[in-house]
């Protein structure tokens, strides 16, 4: 019931915008599109309301606070991950192949929405396990199910889960870290801003900067993941032997 004030019943903000009546999916889709275009700093309830053609107050029925909206963006990223995995018909029951499949799909989602990627770290650092979005919890379950099905006990599965998550999100963070200083420059040295780096104090960094500017891509992701999983494969073989 609308709260009353001295001038009569308070008006309920309409949730019918230029695209029709709002839904949580529509709100999150619009929020993610805004962040994709203009970055996280552009996201506010007022701005999102303008995008959808409704008053900001109408959005609080679908996201109770700014933090809730940010958690919703994390949810949207993981829902897209689920869609990509569902579209991949080459699912392999082998646990290593399964982890590679999840890693490739996560990498693709992150490169599609680079402006929103920082939320995966910041919001999951702030939100306890049981309060994370359902799509995030399903991702955790997916990885752990692969590991337990392969024969890892609870402690070992937790070790692999932590290592896999750290490598995947760490790799994506390095891939998306800006390196180019001036994209309008055609000269590689000025494009990378090497003149800003001391040749005396940072000689190796200057020499390696061009290589750092190139992304490792899914191939680098896979190579590092294999190197990581080799140790756990040996551990699993030893435990089962």
Q: How far apart are CA 63 and CA 51, in angstroms?
A: 16
For position 239, what pLDDT does the model report? Answer: 76
Q: Is the pLDDT of residue 24 over 50?
A: yes
For the chain, how many helices (H) and strands (E)?
A: 11, 4
pTM: 0.86
Question: pLDDT tens across 128-168, in order?
Answer: 999 999 999 999 999 999 999 999 999 999 999 999 999 99
| Nearest-10 crossing angle of helices 118-126, 66-87 | 120
For position 16, what pLDDT does the model report? Answer: 59
Map 159-228 to HEC letters.
HHHHHHHHHHHHHHHHHHCCCCCCCCCCCHHHHHCHHHCCCCCCHHHHHHHHHHHCCCHHHHHHHHHHHH
Q: Which of 16-20, 103-107, 172-176, 204-208 has the lowest average pLDDT? A: 16-20
Closest by Cα among 120, 153, 126, 150 to 32:
120
Structural domains of the chain in order of their starting residue, each with its CATH number: 13-64 (1.10.10.60), 74-240 (1.10.357.10)
The span from the first CA to the last CA of the chain, in angstroms, equals 66
Q: Is residue 120 a contact partner of residue 77, using CB atoms and an 8 Å limit?
A: yes
Question: pLDDT tens across 65-94, in order?
Answer: 999 999 999 999 999 999 999 988 666 679
Residues in the chain: 241
Q: How far apart are CA 228 and CA 157, in angstroms?
A: 14
- 109 CB neighbour count, 10 Å cutoff: 22
Question: pLDDT tens across 171-224, in order?
Answer: 999 999 989 999 999 999 999 999 999 999 999 999 999 999 999 999 999 999
Q: Is the pLDDT of residue 39 over 80?
A: yes
For position 2, what pLDDT does the model report? Answer: 44
Tokens matching residue 118: 């920082």
Q: Is residue 101 a contact partner of residue 91, using CB atoms and an 8 Å limit?
A: yes
Q: How far apart are CA 68 and CA 177, in angstroms?
A: 26
| Nearest-10 crossing angle of helices 66-87, 134-150 | 40
Mean pLDDT of the 5-31 span: 66
Q: Is the pLDDT of residue 6 over 80?
A: no
Mean pLDDT of the 113-130 span: 94
For position 241, what pLDDT does the model report? Answer: 64
Q: Is the pLDDT of residue 9 over 50?
A: no
Q: Which residue has the higher pLDDT, 3 or 212?
A: 212
For position 196, what pLDDT does the model report? Answer: 95
Q: How far apart are CA 52 and CA 58, in angstroms?
A: 10
Mean pLDDT of the 19-45 span: 90
- 103 CB neighbour count, 10 Å cutoff: 21
Q: How confident is the model at residue 238 (pLDDT cuts 50, 70, 90)?
A: confident
Mean pLDDT of the 16-21 span: 59
For position 88, what pLDDT does the model report? Answer: 80
Q: Is the pLDDT of residue 13 over 60?
A: no
Query: What's the sign of the alpha-carbon dihedral 138, 141, 145, 147?
Result: positive
Q: Is residue 80 a contact partner of residue 109, using CB atoms and an 8 Å limit?
A: yes
Q: How confident is the model at residue 14 (pLDDT cuts 50, 70, 90)?
A: low
Q: How far apart are CA 72 and CA 89, in angstroms?
A: 28
């Amino acid at each position: 019931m609308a709260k009353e004030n001295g001038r009569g019943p308070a008006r309920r903000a309409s949730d019918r915008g230029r695209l029709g009546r709002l839904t949580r999916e529509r709100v999150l889709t619009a929020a993610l599109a805004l962040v994709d275009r203009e970055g996280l700093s552009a996201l506010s309830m007022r701005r999102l309301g303008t995008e959808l053609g409704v008053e900001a107050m109408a959005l609080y029925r679908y996201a109770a606070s700014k933090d809730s909206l940010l958690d919703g963006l994390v949810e949207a990223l993981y829902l897209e991950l689920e869609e990509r995995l569902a579209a991949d018909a080459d699912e392999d029951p082998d646990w290593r192949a399964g982890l590679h499949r999840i890693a490739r799909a996560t990498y693709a989602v992150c490169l599609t929405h680079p402006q929103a990627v920082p939320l995966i770290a910041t919001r999951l650092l702030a939100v306890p396990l049981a309060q994370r979005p359902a799509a995030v919890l399903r991702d955790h379950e997916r990885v752990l199910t692969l590991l337990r099905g392969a024969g890892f006990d609870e402690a070992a599965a937790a070790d692999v889960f932590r290592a896999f998550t750290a490598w995947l999100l760490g790799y994506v963070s390095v891939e998306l870290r800006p390196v180019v200083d001036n994209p309008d420059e055609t000269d590689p040295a000025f494009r990378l801003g090497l003149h800003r780096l001391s040749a005396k104090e940072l000689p190796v960094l200057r020499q390696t900067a061009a290589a750092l500017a190139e992304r490792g891509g899914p191939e680098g992701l896979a190579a590092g993941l294999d190197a990581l999983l080799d140790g756990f494969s040996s551990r699993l073989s030893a435990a089962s032997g």
